[in-house]
């Protein structure tokens, strides 16, 4: 174990930072520090941000814990839990071991947006202090699989 986790972007789009999430729980980092990505519109697949084990899997959100016991939450859109899975296709289950970059959920951010919800994706370091993250990307274009932050 190196004690370092490199967290990758689950989607392609534009980094907006947690402050860019129109949900105070994420915007105020109440769940943990991290960043957010306003995804490209159109059908796509959200990928695992780290290699590890899925400990929570919902159609709109998932948590992967890596070998360093760092839990990374990916939340696809805001208030998307209300959709009860509609518009999402899950490719993995809680308990599965996954590798960084593996597709976990299919979805269409444009459909989420057309339904009156924000498709912005929060990527959060659970149970972490803000001082343990470095190189946090909070603006600019990001590719799917590009590094969003490092967790030490």
Domain annotation covers residue 47: yes
Domain annotation covers residue 1: no
pTM for the model: 0.96
In CATH, what number is assigned to the domain containing residue 45?
Answer: 2.70.70.10
> Strand, helix or coil at 38?
strand
pLDDT of the residue at 2:
66
**119-134 burial code (b ≥16 CB/10 A, e <16):** bbbbbbbbebeeebbe
Edge-to-edge order in the sheet of strand 133-134: 5-8, 147-151, 133-134
Domain count across the chain: 1
Is residue 1 predicted with pLDDT exceeding 60?
Answer: no
**pLDDT band for position 63 (cuts 50, 70, 90):** very high
Domain annotation covers residue 58: yes
Domain annotation covers residue 8: no
Q: What is the pLDDT of residues 79-91, one digit of tens each?
A: 999 998 989 999 9
Mean pLDDT of 91-97: 98
Please say if 75 is a catalytic residue.
yes
Domain annotation covers residue 45: yes
**pLDDT band for position 3 (cuts 50, 70, 90):** confident
Question: Cα(44)–Cα(59) distance, rounded to whole angstroms?
Answer: 14
Domain annotation covers residue 43: yes
Closest of 3, 7, 12, 28 to residue 119, by C-alpha? 12
Domain annotation covers residue 70: yes
Q: What is the pLDDT of residues 107-136, one digit of tens each?
A: 999 999 999 999 999 999 999 988 999 999
| pLDDT over 90, % of the chain | 92
Domain annotation covers residue 11: no
For 65, the token pair is 């814990």
Question: Of 58, 60, 70, 75, which one is the catalytic site residue?
Answer: 75
Domain that holds residue 73: 33-129
């Amino acid at each position: 174990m190196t004690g370092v986790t490199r967290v990758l972007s689950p989607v392609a789009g534009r980094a907006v930072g947690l402050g860019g999430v129109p949900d105070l729980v994420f915007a105020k980092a109440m769940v943990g520090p991290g960043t957010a990505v306003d995804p490209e519109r159109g059908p796509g697949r959200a990928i695992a941000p780290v290699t590890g084990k899925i400990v929570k899997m919902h159609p709109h959100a998932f948590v992967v814990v890596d070998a360093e016991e760092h839990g990374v939450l990916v939340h696809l859109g805001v208030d998307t839990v209300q959709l009860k899975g509609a518009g999402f296709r899950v490719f993995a289950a809680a308990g599965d071991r996954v590798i960084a970059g593996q597709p976990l959920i299919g979805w269409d951010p444009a459909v989420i947006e057309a339904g009156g919800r924000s498709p912005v994706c929060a990527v959060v370091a659970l149970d972490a202090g803000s001082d343990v993250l470095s190189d946090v990307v909070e603006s600019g274009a990001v590719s799917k699989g590009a590094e969003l932050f490092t967790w030490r």
